[in-house]
Amino acid sequence: MSELTLYRQTFPSRLLLGTAAYPSTEILRQAVAAAEPAMITVSLRRAGSAAETDGQGFWALLQEMDVPVLPNTAGCQSVQEAVTTARMAREVFATDWIKLELIGDDDTLQPDVFQLVEAAKILIDEGFKVLPYCTEDLIACRRLLDAGCEALMPWAAPIGSGLGVVHGYALQVLRERLPDVPLIIDAGLGLPSQAAQVMEWGFDGVLLNTAVSRSGDPVAMARAFAQATAAGRAAYLSDPVQPHRHARASTPTVGQPFWHSEEY
Q: Supply angle C-alpha 17, 38, 40, rounded to 5.
A: 35
Please report the pLDDT score of residue 240 as a whole number: 84
pLDDT (average), residues 238-256 = 75
Set out the domains of the chain in order of their start, with CATH numbers.
Answer: 4-238 (3.20.20.70)
Alpha carbon distance 119, 136 (integer Å): 18
Alpha carbon distance 107, 44 (integer Å): 22
Tens digits of residue pLDDT in 110-135: 999 999 999 999 999 999 999 999 99
**Residue 25 is assigned to a ligand binding site:** no
Tens digits of residue pLDDT in 158-177: 888 888 899 999 999 999 99
**Residue 160 is assigned to a ligand binding site:** yes
Residue 49 has pLDDT above 80, yes or no: no
Alpha carbon distance 195, 254 (integer Å): 41
* pTM assigned to the model: 0.88
**Residue 82 is assigned to a ligand binding site:** no
99 catalytic? Reply is yes
pLDDT (average), residues 139-148 = 97
**Residue 187 is assigned to a ligand binding site:** yes
**Residue 162 is assigned to a ligand binding site:** no
CA distances from 181 to 9, 32, 64, 150 (A): 14, 27, 32, 7
One-letter amino acid of 23: P
- Residues of the chain with pLDDT > 90, as a percent, come to 70
Residue 50 has pLDDT above 50, yes or no: no
Please report the pLDDT score of residue 65 as a whole number: 86
Residue 56 has pLDDT above 80, yes or no: no
Alpha carbon distance 118, 104 (integer Å): 14
The answer to whether 134 and 155 have CB atoms below 8 angstroms apart is yes
Both ends of the chain: CA-CA distance in Å?
A: 56
* Residue 68 vs residue 253, higher pLDDT: 68
pLDDT band at 4 (very low <50, low <70, confident <90, very high): very high
The answer to whether 81 and 104 have CB atoms below 8 angstroms apart is no
User: In terms of DSSP H, where are the helices of the chain?
Assistant: 25-35, 44-48, 55-65, 79-93, 113-125, 138-146, 168-177, 192-200, 210-213, 218-237
* Residue 258 vs residue 207, higher pLDDT: 207
Alpha carbon distance 104, 110 (integer Å): 6
* Residue 249 vs residue 222, higher pLDDT: 222
CB atoms within 10 A of CB 235: 14
Tens digits of residue pLDDT in 18-35: 999 899 989 999 999 999
Please report the pLDDT score of residue 106 as a whole number: 85
Q: Supply angle C-alpha 110, 116, 118, rounded to 5.
A: 155
pLDDT (average), residues 98-107 = 92
Write down the catalytic residue from 14, 46, 90, 99: 99
